[in-house]
Structure 1
C-alpha cells in the first residue's frame, strides 16, 4: 500500500470514529432498522453481512471516484444542495416511521444473508455529511487505491456504531424503537440541512467573533489559520484591505476542516490561498462539510 493510501486509510478511520458515528448511523441506520424489524432480522450474523455489504459498496465507490478524479468533483453549491436534500429525505423517513409505529422492512418478510449485504450496500445512496466529505477526499486523491482506502477506512470507523445499533435493535420493542429512531433521525436531518445551508452560504450572515482592539492586533498581508478537528483557529483574523493578501492554512488535525471552501471553491489543506485586493469588511469561509466557519476581517 502506498504512503498516500495508508494516510487516507488512517484519516478515513479517524473521520468515521470521530465525525461519522452519530451522523451516519442516524441517517443510514434506517436500512439496518428495516433489516432488524422482521423475525429473521434477530439473527446477529445479519448485522455482519450488512456491514460487509456497506464496506464493499463504499470501497468500490472510493476506487471509482479516485479513478475519475477531479473531473467529477461537484462544486460546493451542488454539495450543499445534496446535503439539504439528504436532510429532507431523512426527516420524511423519520416522520413515516413514527406514524407507522414500526420500521420499514422488505415486504416479503424474508430477510436472508443475500438481502442483508444489499441493504448495507444501499447505505451509500443515503449520504450523510461526512460521507460526502469522504467522497470528495477520494476524488481529490486521483488514485483508485487511495480513494478506496479512504472510503474503506471511513466504513471501518463507523462499524462499531452500526454494530451497537444492531445489538440495540434486537432488544427493544418496535414501537419504542420507531419513536426513538424518529426523534434521532429528525435531529440528524435538521443538522444535515443546516450544514448544507451553511456550506451554500444560504443562511443569514453569522455574527463573526469579536476582534481584539486595533492596537493589540497586527494587520498584515499574510495571515495564518490552523485547521483543527474543532474548527479554525483563530476564528477571526485581521488583514489589510485594498491589497493582495495571502492566507496560509495549516492542518493541525485530520477531519472535515481539512478542506476549506473559500471564494466559492474547494481548497485541500495545507495550502496557501492568495486573494486579490478586498474591500473593508468580513470574508467568511467554511469547511467542506459546512460544519465550521472562519472569518477574515479586512480593514
Structure 2
C-alpha cells in the first residue's frame, strides 16, 4: 500500500497537472460568484468612516476571500478523504445524486449572477452566514468578505469534477484515514495555484474598476451556470444534447452508430469501424459483448444492440484520461474509473428494448446503447 507521503505527492501532482483546469470548469463559477459578490448596504446605524478613508473591506487584500475559499475547500476535501479512507465506497453518492448536486450548484451560480447584475431581492436568496456569526468573524478578520467564500469553498466537495472522482477512488482504496486525507488534501493543494490566480483576477479587477466589471463577471457566471446545469442533466441520464453523426456498420449482424468518417479512429478497411475490437459481438457462450473504447472521449458514442440477450459492456481503456475515465450509467447506478490501458467489464444483464444512456461523471462525454428486439 502506498505511503501517505506518496499519496500526498500523487494527489498534488494530479491536481496541478490535470485537476486544476477540470475543476475550474465546473467550480470556477462558484469561485467568481463568491469573491465578487455585491455587498449588502451597510446599516444606517453604523458609524461613518472619515471622508478620506476607505472601509476596511475595501483596503483588505484581494486575496482574503480567495484564500478563504481555498481553505474551506481544503478542509472539506480533507475530511472527505478521512471518511473515504475509513468507510470506503459506502459514502459515494450515486450518479443521479451527483447530478442533482450539480443542478443545485448551477442554480446557486444563477443567483450569484443575478446578484452581480444588481437585481433587487436576489441578495436575500444568496447564501450568507448568520448575522451573529458574521459579526464575530468581522471582529477577528476586519473584513466582511471572508465568511461566505469559505462556506462556498467548503461546499465544493458536493460538486466534484471528473478528476476528483479518480482521487476519491484512490482514497477509498487507501484503507486508512490518514492516507485518504493525504490524497484528497494533496489534490486540492495541487489545484490551488490555478484557483488562486483566477480568484485574484476576479477580485482585483472588480476592486480596481470600482465594481464596473460586476456585470461582465455576472455574464461569465451565468454562462458557466447554464453549462453546469446542461452537463448535470446529461450526467443524470435524463437528456442528451448530442447530435448523432453519420453512422457506419460494424462487422456482423449489428449496427454501430456515432463514428464519423473524419474521426481519427475511423478505418473502413478494418471492418470494425476503426476501433481495436468489434463494437458489438456475440461470444461462443451466446453473450453479447458491447465494447466502448475510452481515450479522452468515447468511441463509438451510439450503439445498436440486440435486446433480450445477456450483455456485457467492456470499457476498453486506450490511454484514457480526463472526464471520460469517470464512467457512469445513471439508470443503473454504475460508477467506474476506467483503466488507463486495459479492459473493465460491466454486466448489463438481459436488457429489454429501450435506450440505455451513459456519460462521464460531469456529463461532458455522453453516449447511448439502443437495445432493439429482433435485430438482424
* TM bin (shorter chain): 0.7 to 0.9
Contact 1:232/1:257 (<8 A) preserved: yes
Per the TM alignment, residue 111 of structure 1 is displaced from its structure 2 partner at its CA by: 8.2
How far apart, CA to CA, are the structure 1 residues paired with 2:86 and 2:210?
43
Residue 236 (structure 1) aligns with: 302
SS of match in other structure, 1:38: helix
SS of match in other structure, 1:185: helix
SS of match in other structure, 1:201: coil
Aligned equivalent of 1:84, options 103, 106, 109: 103
Contact 1:58/1:155 (<8 A) preserved: no
The root-mean-square deviation of aligned C-alpha atoms, in Å, is 3.8
Gaps of 5+ in 1: none
Residue 222 (structure 1) aligns with: 289
Cα–Cα, structure 1 residues 59 and 50, in superposed 2: closer, same or farther, change >3 Å?
A: same
Per the TM alignment, residue 168 of structure 1 is displaced from its structure 2 partner at its CA by: 4.8
Aligned equivalent of 1:194, options 214, 230, 237: 230
Deviations 1:234-271 (A, max 9, x none): 32345444322222213333332222222332223232
Deviations 1:25-44 (A, max 9, x none): 22223323359993133355
How far apart, CA to CA, are the structure 1 residues paired with 2:293 and 2:250?
22
How far apart, CA to CA, are the structure 1 residues paired with 2:80 and 2:102?
18
Contact 2:103/2:228 (<8 A) preserved: yes
Q: Which runs of structure 2 are paired with 1:67-82 in the superposition (5 Å)?
A: 67-82=86-101
Per the TM alignment, residue 54 of structure 1 is displaced from its structure 2 partner at its CA by: 3.6
Gaps of 5+ in 2: 40-55, 252-270, 273-277, 282-287
Residue 163 (structure 1) aligns with: 197
Is residue 2:219 matched to residue 1:153? no
Per the TM alignment, residue 11 of structure 1 is displaced from its structure 2 partner at its CA by: 3.5
Residue 32 (structure 1) aligns with: 35
Count of residues paired in the alignment: 297
SS of match in other structure, 2:77: helix
Contact 2:231/2:364 (<8 A) preserved: yes
Per the TM alignment, residue 175 of structure 1 is displaced from its structure 2 partner at its CA by: 2.9
TM-score (norm 2): 0.65
Q: Which runs of structure 2 are paired with 1:46-195 in the superposition (5 Å)?
A: 47-48=66-67, 51-99=70-118, 112=141, 121-122=150-151, 123-126=153-156, 129-131=159-161, 134=164, 137-138=167-168, 141-142=171-172, 143=174, 144=177, 145-146=179-180, 148-171=182-205, 172-195=208-231
